Amino acid sequence: MEKKLDRLKELLAEIYDLNGVEGLLGWDQQTYMPPGATEQRGYQAATIARLAHQKLTSKEIGNLLDDLEPYASQLSPDSSDARLVKVTRRQYDKEVKVPSDWVAEYAQARSAAHPAWAEARADNNFPKFQPTLEKILEMRRRYAGFFAPYEHVYDPLLDDFEPGLKTADVKAIFNALRPQQVELIKQIAGKPEIGNSFLHQEYDEQKQWDFGVEVITKFGYDWHRGRLDRSPHPFTGGSSSDDVRITTRFAKDNGVSALFSTMHEAGHALYELGCDPALNRSPLVGGASLAVHESQSRMWENLIGRSMPFWEHFYARFQSLFPEQLGDVSLQQFYRAINKVQPSLIRVEADEATYNLHIMLRLELEIALMEGSLAVKDLPEAWNSRMQEYLGLLPPNDSLGVLQDVHWSMGLVGYFSTYALGNLVSAQLWECIQRDLPDLDDQIRQGEFSYLLGWLRKNIHQHGAKFEPQELVQQVTGSKIDAQPYMHYLRKKYSQVYDL
C-alpha cells in the first residue's frame, strides 16, 4: 500500500504544480500583465485548468483511492496520510462530476471577466460588465446542476469555500447575528459623533507603503517567500506555500486604508506560510476554508491592528511620518477615529460594527441571482435598495456600489459569507489566545508578535486543510462557529470607545 500511497502523492503533486502555475497567471493578470494580453491569458488559464482537472479525475486516482481507503481507515484519523486520502476523495468525488470542457470554459470566462470588471468600474458603467456577469452566473448555475439534487442551488457553491456548510446553516448564523448587530449600531447612533477628519487628508503614499512594510515585518511576514505589490483590489496569491504574495491599494482621502488592507492580506499570507512543510505539494496545503482564512486576516487587521495596545506601540512612529496630519492628534483621538462607527459605501473600509451587514447584503443578492429571482440587469437597483435599508446610504454611482468588489469577476459566487464567518471565528480564537497568553496585550505594546504567531502556527496554520472548518474550530475552541464571542468582543470594545 505504501507504493500506491506514494503514487497518489506523486500525482497530487503534479496537480498542485499546475494549480500553482494557474495561481501565478492570475496574480500576474491583476498586477503587471499588459491589458492586450487578456485573450491569450484566457487560453493559457483554460489549458492549465483543464489539465489539472483531467489529472484529478483520472481513473488512476479513482482506483488508487478505492485501494487506499481501507488502508487509511486503519491509520490514526488525524494523521496526514489518512487525511490526504479523505480530502482527496472528497475533491475527486466533486470534480469527477464536472466535465473538463466546463472547467476550461469557466477558466477562460473568468480570465475575460476581470478586465471587463476593471474597465466597467473605472468607467462607472455597469452595462459594460452585465453580459460578462450573466455569463459567469449562467456557468455557476450549470456547475450547481452537476451536484443535483441539493437542498438549495447555492449549496454546491458554498461548499467549495466552506466544506460541509449549507446555505441554511449560514442563514441561521446570520439571522441570530443580524438583530444583535443592528441593536448595537442603534445604541452607538445615539452617542456623539467621533471626529476623524484628520484621517481624510492626503497622506504620502510612499510613507504609507513603508510603514505598512514595517508593521507586517514585525508580524512575521517572510519577505524571502513573499512580496507586496499594488492592485485594484487587495488580494493574496502566488504559486505555492513558499511563494505567497500580497497586494494593497491606496485611497487618496484615507490615510490608513492601505495600512489596514496590508495587514489584512498579511494575515492571509501568514496562514499560508505557516503550513507544515510536510504537506507541501498536496491538497492539504492551504487553509481549512475561506472562513478560517478570513479569521486570520480579520484578526491581524482588526483585533490586533485596531487595538489600543497595537497603537500604543506604533502610534509615535506613525505620527512622526505624518506630522502635518497627526501632530496635534492624541493617541486616544486617533484610536477612537480608526474605530469610528459610521455606515460606509465601501465594504473593505467598513468599521467592525457595520461590516457584517455588507456581507449579508451580498449573500442575499447572490442567492437571489442563483435562484433566478433577481436578474443581473436589476442588480444595481437591488444593491442600492438594500444599501439604503441596511446602512441608510445610497451609492452615488455603481463604481461605489455594485461594481466595488472584484469577486464576481473572478467567478467567486458563494464566497462572500466567509468574510462574516471569519469575523466570528476570529473572536472565538481570540478568547482562546487570551486565555493561553494572558500577557498578550503587554506583548503587543512592546511590538512582540512571535508568541501570538507561534500560537496560531501550532493551533491553526500548521494543519493546512487537514480538517474541515467546523471540525477545526471545535477542536481549538470547544464549539462550532458561534456568533456570541464576536458580539461580546464588539460590545466590550464599543462600550469603551463610545461610553455605552
Distances from the Cα of 132 to the Cα of 110, 166, 409, angstroms: 9, 27, 8
For cell 456568533, the residue is 483
3-state secondary structure 18-33: HHHHHHHHHHHHHHCC
Residues 96, 57 contacting (CB under 8 angstroms): yes
3-state helix, strand, coil in the chain (%, to 5): 70, 5, 30
Are 391 and 360 within 8 A, CB to CB?
A: no
pLDDT of residue 409: 94
Go through 382-412 and write b for each residue having 16 or more CB atoms within 10 A of its CB, e for each that does not.
bbbebbeebbebebeebbbbbbbbbbbbbbb
Q: How far is CA 296 from the centre of its chain?
A: 9
Distance of CA 34 to the CA centre of its chain: 26
SS3 246: strand
CB-count exposure of residue 34 (10 Å: 0-12, 13-18, 19+): exposed
pLDDT tens for each residue of the chain, 500 residues long:
899 999 999 999 999 999 999 999 999 999 999 999 999 999 999 999 999 999 999 999 999 999 999 999 999 999 999 999 999 999 999 999 999 999 999 999 998 998 999 999 999 999 999 999 999 999 999 999 999 999 999 999 999 999 989 999 999 999 989 999 989 999 998 999 999 999 999 999 999 999 999 999 999 999 999 999 999 889 999 999 999 999 999 998 899 999 999 999 999 999 999 999 999 999 999 999 999 999 999 999 999 999 999 999 999 999 999 999 999 999 999 999 999 999 999 998 899 999 999 999 999 999 999 999 999 999 999 999 999 999 999 999 999 999 999 999 999 999 999 999 999 999 999 999 999 999 999 999 999 999 999 999 999 999 999 999 999 999 999 999 999 999 999 999 999 999 98
Active site residues per annotation: 265
CB 303 within 8 A of CB 449: no
**pLDDT, position 459:** 98
